[in-house]
Amino acid sequence: MNSFLKYIAWIVFLALLSGCATSYLTSSHSTIDHKKQYEQIVVVAKSKSQATRFNFEQEITDKLLARGVNAVTSETLVPHSAIANNPDKAELESIRRELVSKGADGVIITTLIDKENYVDVIPGARGAYPYHMRAYDRYWGHYPVTYWEPDRLVSVVVYYLESALYDITVEDDNLRWVGNFKVKGPGAVAKWSKKFATDLSEALVDEKNGPISIVH
């Protein structure tokens, strides 16, 4: 491969790396041994950024709707102050009652637990082991003049998230499922939120371990 093709290949690889994300469920636990078909699930993303919250909730809501789960973002139902801050027990109970009065019976809350940064090394271009050349003029002319490309360092962020499903028709002990996820991707939430939303929705309706039943 000549230097130009190597350069193009590296650019393509870097573009794919920067635009993709990997996400997977690391653990999950159901508190009950049966599934429930929810009438309406409110999607909540705990974030101090209102824009991030709205976009993240919309991604999850869209994926749940696509799988037959009636879901809605909390944007118009829950004040942002109740998301960005830590409401007390009385405030949370008020929110629960308000959501139930509006037809909701479930809430899925996603929280960023932790994140860490590290660096991936993308190897630079390397020449193939040369054929044995007995004469220096043959060796000289065998390889075209090219650029020697150094290794590249790419910053990657790993996010640890937890999602918990609650049956809000019950006042106490209403946790029904909790799942932990590990997401590896670029720093911007918009770059990996769709992949996470896909994996979360799959886990929630998983035929064997998911807590939500849907009508096919």
Rg (CA), the chain: 25
pLDDT digits (tens, 9 = 90+) for 3-30: 444 444 444 444 444 456 788 899 999 9
CA–CA dist 65, 176 (Å, integer): 20
Q: Which domains does the chain have, with CATH numbers?
A: 3-204 (3.40.50)
pLDDT digits (tens, 9 = 90+) for 110-164: 999 998 887 767 666 655 545 555 565 555 565 555 556 677 777 778 999 999 9
Q: Which residue has the higher pLDDT, 216 or 11?
A: 216
Instruction: Say what the pTM is.
Output: 0.76
CA–CA dist 216, 206 (Å, integer): 13
In this prediction, residues 39-47 reach a mean pLDDT of 94
CA–CA dist 65, 72 (Å, integer): 9
What would the two tokens of residue 37 be?
């078909």
pLDDT digits (tens, 9 = 90+) for 167-188: 999 988 999 999 999 998 776 7
In this prediction, residues 51-75 reach a mean pLDDT of 95
